[in-house]
């Protein structure tokens, strides 16, 4: 759950911003490293052969589309940030979970030509499904091996779907009953109980032991399956039994099971987990699952042989990692491939793995299938011996096997500790040569050789976690240090666009950043959570990073209370607590965590030094989530200023053919309306210095006038964005987007007895942005990806044309090349803001190389050029300004 490197260095980012959002002009920009966070953390839940990744952002996002549609070695997920001033143009990454070894990297690319993209890179082709998460700051991605069905989408309305009768009541096992044979198993087709509630019967930080005969007897005909949960350094293996239509029914079963499962507790599964649990069921009552026979009549190719060998190798590694569910899924796929020299090994190992898993009936069926297909040979003799031993012991594992599987005596109530983190260093350099030619001189008489960026960004993120299956404690620290070599750097901090403070470093100095520093505790038995320290929240009136405390209490499955208090953080470079602007907030969340509709109502109150009310808001948020449709809306109304501060609506619909349509409507005060906005542009005439506190305005303005100044310095911004994407073929997708903005102006403020006049801002009116993108894969080499995009913007001051070509070529599973070409052209309009016409052209070729020598390590080098040409009218003649420069980014990342 770590950020390993974030950056927005070099002048390339200026054009990338224009290509990605259409909200910036292509222009020369002095680059600067950025140490901030777009991604928060990652959670992995594994059931059978399906792993569900829940990726949490620090910003709210709308899911637009993804490519390829179903499988590939690389996955691109396009998102639209919904927060103003969000860290959208940087690059960010997360540590990959150990339970998904096929996942090489998770990266956020804010400088992508078609807008921000979440990119996942795999060691080999994977199957995937992408969906919006339960919160607007989440995305979920389901991963499985190609050809697997464990991640099959669950049917909508699973709770009300037609089902077979529920299993008979659970009877606790006794010593006497443990010696008696279990009742005849009910065929699996007849056991599909309704509901999503389950009993979590066992939990362990290590692989679970096979159920004892007494435990099998107690479980009866219940559907049982194993899951694996991983977040940060905590990994928990869980065995669950279900399903039940209500919490009460599940709790009644839990009480009956306490005799053999003393730590059992009730949980509600997702509809997807139910589907995956039924597919991966490990109950002895289910009908034995015969290994799918290899394709008959099909001659195995060299590729089939190699793929079968790869699947077996990955399965053997999963067995060593105690991930038996994944091993079973891999071996099932291997055995189902066209018959080849590796097939017998796959079938034999599958039976052995199921035997170790405690699935005696399934293992017996696999062994019998092996002997039917390969009746003679050394392998057949081994399998006969195992089958005979299995029949003799009725699948009961030995005490040694149980201890090996359970990893010792650690139970669900014991606390375990672990640490995860990352460390990275990236060097950035941007330098160029600028020459100016006028009508009265020759080229080169005015030359400027400058180094725009010469910096080293060092980042670290460490998380220490402890706890058991019901209580979790987490301590996290994340930050960075930017070292400047011979150049100065300054960072202007903003809070939703409100300029506040400037952090500077001298040549040879550096700038610190602290993105997170908190302690987090959650208790499932008390249904409560507490987080204290520097953290990020984008709901219930809190819009970003803050220093403070957040408390939550789940009163019942459909009602949660939250309280928050603290101080805003204007920038990660702010190394102290901004105590002059305290706030508190209260919120109520309505709706079950698994229900499609969730709502929240909140009150937020923030003050400023001097007794001022900085912001006082009431608000409402709602999230509606179905398989093909999701929506999010937010209303924030300031009761102090009696003005709508923020109104947001986001909709997205997906058709069965893979096409999707998205709509986002945004109405907001910019910057977010606070009394502190009154400071914008205010300077003291005596010292000719900016005024930084509201108390500093009181000698010149009354309090009502200060509140009015805040309104005057805040403009209204409205926008509508429409996006559409559609697959043309299995290897080609087209997308288009349209954005309309309408930004108002602000009135001027005359000079007072001690302050200068503040000029007003003219309204920009309506501005139009258009974009189209074509993305394809497998066009030249296997698993390559090519992105071609074009954008046009008609703004108040200029017409802008941009084109971008980007390629991703995986040379091997550990080495990837990404060439990119960008071109931009701007034609200024003759307006009061640009009274002199002019043109600007920019061409930027780059090549990025990524190398992954080990599972949790990466080296990256990016090199490119920057060529610009600008025509500027100096009042009497035209100047031609040209720049020739180069940019370099090089660094490494290590996760632990």
Of 261-270, 378-387, 541-550, 864-873, which gets the smallest average pLDDT? 378-387
The pLDDT, as a whole number, for residue 505 is 53
For residue 444, give Cα distances in angstroms to 255, 278, 330, 686, 813: 87, 74, 65, 44, 48
Q: Which two tokens stand for residue 733?
A: 């997708």
DSSP code of 29? -
Is 679 strand, coil or helix?
Answer: helix
Confidence of residue 187 (pLDDT cuts 50, 70, 90): very low
- Compute the distance between CA of residue 554 and CA of residue 540 in angstroms, rounded to an integer: 16
Q: Is 60 exceeded by the pLDDT of residue 355? A: yes
Taking the C-alpha atoms of residue 356 and residue 353, their distance in angstroms, rounded to an integer, is 5
Q: Give the strand pairing for 583-590 and 597-608.
A: antiparallel
Distance in angstroms (rounded) separating the CA atoms of residues 277 and 735: 36
Please tell me the predicted confidence (pLDDT) of residue 395: 42
**3-state DSSP call for residue 19?**
helix
The Cα–Cα gap between 216 and 280 comes to 17
Mean pLDDT check: name the lowest of 63-67, 178-182, 705-709, 780-784: 178-182
Whole-angstrom Cα distance, residue 798 to residue 830?
A: 9
With contact defined as beta carbons under 8 Å apart, do 67 and 249 qualify?
Answer: no
Report residue 583 CA to chain centroid gap. 28
**CA geometry: angle 278, 67, 79, nearest 5 deg:** 95
pLDDT digits (tens, 9 = 90+) for 35-57: 467 888 888 988 877 889 999 98
Residue 241 corresponds to which tokens in the numbers above? 């039994």
Q: The tokens of 892 are what?
A: 């490494």
Q: What residue has token string 């637009």? A: 64
pLDDT in tens, 605-661: 999 999 999 999 999 999 999 888 999 999 999 999 999 999 999 999 999 888 999
What confidence score (pLDDT) does residue 46 get? 86
Q: Are 680 and 669 in contact (CB under 8 A)?
A: no
How many CB atoms within 10 Å of residue 661?
Answer: 16
- What's the pLDDT at 428? 93
Output DSSP code: residue 87.
S
Closest by CA position to 181, among listed 213, 224, 219, 225: 213
Three-state DSSP class for residue 734: strand
Provide the pLDDT confidence category of residue 509 given band limits of 50, 70 and 90. confident
pLDDT band per the 50, 70, 90 thresholds, residue 314: confident
CB 835 within 8 A of CB 817: no
**Residue 459 is inside which H or E element, if any?**
strand 446-467
- Higher pLDDT, residue 305 or 495: 305
**What is residue 789's predicted lDDT score, i.e. its pLDDT?**
93
d(CA 480, CA 95) in angstroms, rounded, equals: 17
Peptide bond into 68 cis (omega under 30): yes
pLDDT averaged over the chain? 81
Residue position matching structure tokens 């911004």:
717
Q: Helices 324-335 and 343-357 meet at what angle, rounded to 10? A: 150
The burial of 753, by beta-carbon neighbours within 10 Å (0-12 exposed, 13-18 middle, 19 or more buried), is given as exposed
Q: What is the pLDDT of residues 474-488, one digit of tens each?
A: 999 999 999 988 755
Q: Residues near 554 by Cβ (< 8 Å), separated by ≥ 6?
A: 527, 528, 560
Q: What is the DSSP letter of 160?
A: G
- Separate counts of helices (H) and strands (E) for the chain: 12, 38
d(CA 703, CA 683): 18
Neighbours of 135 (CB within 10 A): 18
Estimate to the nearest angstrom the gap between the alpha carbon of 889 and the chain centroid: 24
pLDDT at residue 354, as a whole number? 81
Q: Lowest mean pLDDT: which of 3-17, 586-600, 743-757?
A: 3-17
Taking the alpha carbons of 435, 436, 437, 442 in that order, is the dihedral positive or negative?
negative
Burial label, 555 (beta-carbon count in 10 A; 0-12, 13-18, 19+) = exposed
494-497 LR contacts (CB < 8 Å, sep 24+): 494/85, 494/570, 494/571, 494/671, 495/544, 495/568, 495/570, 495/671, 495/672, 496/84, 496/85, 496/543, 496/544, 496/670, 496/671, 496/672, 497/84, 497/85, 497/670, 497/671, 497/672
560 contacts 135 by C-beta, under 8 angstroms: no
The structure's pTM equals 0.77
Q: What is the pLDDT of residue 451?
A: 85
The pLDDT value recorded for residue 440 is 58
pLDDT tens-digit series, residues 546-582:
999 999 999 988 899 999 999 999 888 888 999 999 9
Q: What one-character-per-residue DSSP string does 494-521 give? A: EETTEEEEEEEE-TT-EEEEEEEEEEEE
Contacts of 854 (CB under 8 A, 6+ apart): none
Structure tokens at 565: 């208090």
Which element (helix H / strand E) includes 224? Answer: strand 223-231
The per-residue pLDDT for 506 is 57
Q: Which of 782, 869, 872 is nearest to 835 (CA)?
A: 872
The secondary element (H helix, E strand) that includes residue 255 is helix 247-257
Tell me how far apart the alpha carbons of residues 887 and 216 are, in angstroms, rounded to a whole number. 64
More confident position, 772 or 572: 772
The contacts of residue 354 (CB under 8 Å, 6+ apart) are 328, 362, 363, 366
| Residue scoring higher pLDDT (313 or 462) | 462
Residue 703: pLDDT over 70: yes
Q: Rounded to 5 degrees, what angle do the CA atoms 757, 759, 760 make?
A: 140
15 pLDDT above the threshold of 60: no
Question: What's the pLDDT band for 584 if we cut at 50, 70, 90?
Answer: very high
Of 322, 341, 340, 329, the closest CA to residue 291 belongs to 329
Residues present in the chain in total = 896
């Amino acid at each position: 759950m770590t950020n390993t490197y974030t950056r927005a260095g070099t002048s390339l980012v200026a054009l990338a911003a224009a290509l990605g959002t259409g909200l910036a002009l292509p222009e020369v920009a002095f680059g600067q490293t950025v140490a901030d966070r777009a991604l928060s953390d990652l959670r992995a839940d594994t059931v059978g052969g399906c792993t569900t990744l829940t990726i949490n952002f620090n910003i709210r996002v709308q899911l637009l589309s993804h490519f390829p549609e179903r499988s590939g070695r690389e996955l691109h997920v396009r998102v639209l940030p919904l927060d103003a001033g969000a860290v959208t143009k940087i690059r960010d990454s997360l540590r990959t979970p150990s339970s998904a070894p096929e996942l090489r990297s998770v990266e956020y690319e804010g400088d992508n030509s078609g807008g921000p993209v979440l990119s996942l890179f795999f060691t080999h082709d994977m199957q995937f499904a992408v969906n919006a998460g339960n919160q607007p700051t989440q995305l979920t991605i389901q991963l499985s091996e190609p050809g697997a069905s464990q991640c099959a989408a669950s049917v909508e309305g699973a709770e009300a779907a037609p089902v077979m009768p529920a299993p008979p009541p659970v009877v606790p096992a006794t010593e006497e009953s443990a010696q008696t044979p279990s009742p005849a198993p009910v065929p699996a087709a007849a056991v599909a109980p309704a509901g999503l509630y389950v009993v979590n019967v066992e939990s362990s930080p290590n692989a679970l032991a096979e159920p004892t005969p007494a435990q099998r007897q107690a479980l009866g005909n219940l559907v049982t399956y194993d899951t694996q949960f991983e977040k940060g350094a905590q990994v928990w293996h869980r065995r669950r039994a279900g399903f039940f239509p209500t919490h009460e029914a599940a709790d009644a079963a839990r009480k009956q099971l306490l005799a053999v499962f003393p730590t059992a507790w009730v949980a509600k599964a997702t509809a997807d987990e139910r589907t995956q649990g039924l597919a991966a069921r490990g109950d002895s009552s289910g009908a034995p699952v015969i290994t799918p026979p290899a394709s008959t009549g099909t001659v195995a190719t060299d590729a089939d042989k190699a793929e079968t060998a790869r699947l077996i190798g990955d399965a053997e590694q999963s067995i060593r990692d105690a991930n038996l569910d994944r091993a079973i899924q891999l071996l099932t796929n291997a055995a189902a491939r066209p018959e080849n020299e590796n097939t017998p090994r796959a079938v034999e190992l599958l039976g052995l793995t199921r035997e170790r898993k405690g699935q005696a009936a399934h293992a017996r069926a696999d062994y019998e299938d092996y002997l039917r297909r390969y009746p003679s040979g050394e392998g057949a003799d081994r399998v006969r011996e195992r089958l005979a031993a299995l029949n003799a012991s009725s699948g009961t594992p030995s005490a040694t096997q149980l201890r090996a599987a359970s990893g010792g005596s650690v139970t669900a109530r014991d606390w375990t500790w672990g640490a995860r983190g990352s460390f990275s260093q990236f060097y950035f350099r941007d330098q160029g040569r600028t020459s100016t030619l006028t009508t009265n001189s020759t080229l080169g008489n005015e030359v400027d050789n400058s180094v725009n960026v010469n910096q080293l960004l060092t980042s670290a993120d460490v998380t220490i976690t402890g706890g058991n299956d019901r209580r979790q404690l987490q301590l996290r620290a994340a930050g960075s240090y930017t070292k400047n070599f011979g150049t100065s750097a300054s960072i202007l901090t903003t809070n939703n666009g409100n300029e506040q403070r400037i952090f500077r470093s001298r040549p040879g100095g550096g700038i610190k950043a602290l993105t997170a520093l908190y302690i987090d505790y959650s208790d499932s038995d008390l249904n409560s959570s507490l987080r204290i320290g520097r953290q990020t929240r984008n709901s219930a009136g809190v819009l970003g990073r803050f220093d403070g405390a957040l408390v939550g209490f789940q009163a019942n499955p459909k009602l949660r209370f939250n309280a928050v208090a603290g101080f805003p953080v204007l920038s990660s470079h702010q190394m102290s607590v901004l105590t002059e602007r305290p706030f508190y907030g209260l919120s109520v969340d309505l709706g079950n965590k698994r229900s499609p509709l969730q709502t929240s109502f909140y009150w937020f109150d923030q003050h400023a030094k001097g007794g001022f009310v900085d912001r006082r808001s009431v608000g409402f948020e709602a999230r509606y989530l179905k398989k093909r449709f999701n929506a999010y809306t937010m209303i924030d109304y300031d009761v102090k200023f009696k003005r709508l501060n923020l109104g947001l609506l986001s909709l997205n619909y997906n058709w069965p053919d893979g096409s999707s349509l998205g709509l986002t409507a945004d109405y907001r005060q910019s910057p977010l309306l606070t009394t502190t906005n009154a400071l914008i542009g205010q300077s003291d005439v005596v010292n000719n210095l900016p005024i930084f506190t509201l108390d500093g305005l009181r000698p010149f303005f009354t309090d009502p006038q200060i509140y009015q100044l805040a309104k005057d310095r805040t403009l209204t911004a409205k926008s509508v964005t429409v996006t559409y994407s559609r697959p043309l073929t299995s290897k080609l997708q087209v997308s288009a987007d349209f954005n309309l903005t309408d930004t108002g102006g602000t009135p001027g403020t005359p000079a007072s007895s001690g302050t200068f006049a503040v000029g007003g801002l003219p309204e920009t009116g309506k501005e139009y942005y258009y974009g189209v993108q074509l993305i394809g894969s497998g066009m030249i080499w296997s698993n390559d990806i090519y992105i071609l995009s074009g954008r046009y913007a008609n703004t108040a001051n200029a017409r802008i044309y941009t084109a971008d070509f980007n390629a991703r070529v995986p040379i091997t599973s550990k080495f990837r090349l990404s060439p990119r070409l960008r071109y931009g052209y701007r034609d200024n309009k003759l307006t009061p803001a640009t009274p002199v016409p002019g043109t600007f052209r920019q061409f930027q070729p780059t090549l990025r190389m990524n190398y992954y020598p080990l599972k949790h390590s990466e080296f990256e080098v990016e090199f490119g050029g920057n060529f610009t040409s600008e025509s500027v009218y100096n009042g009497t003649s035209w100047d031609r300004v040209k720049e020739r420069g180069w940019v370099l980014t090089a660094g490494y990342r290590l996760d632990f």
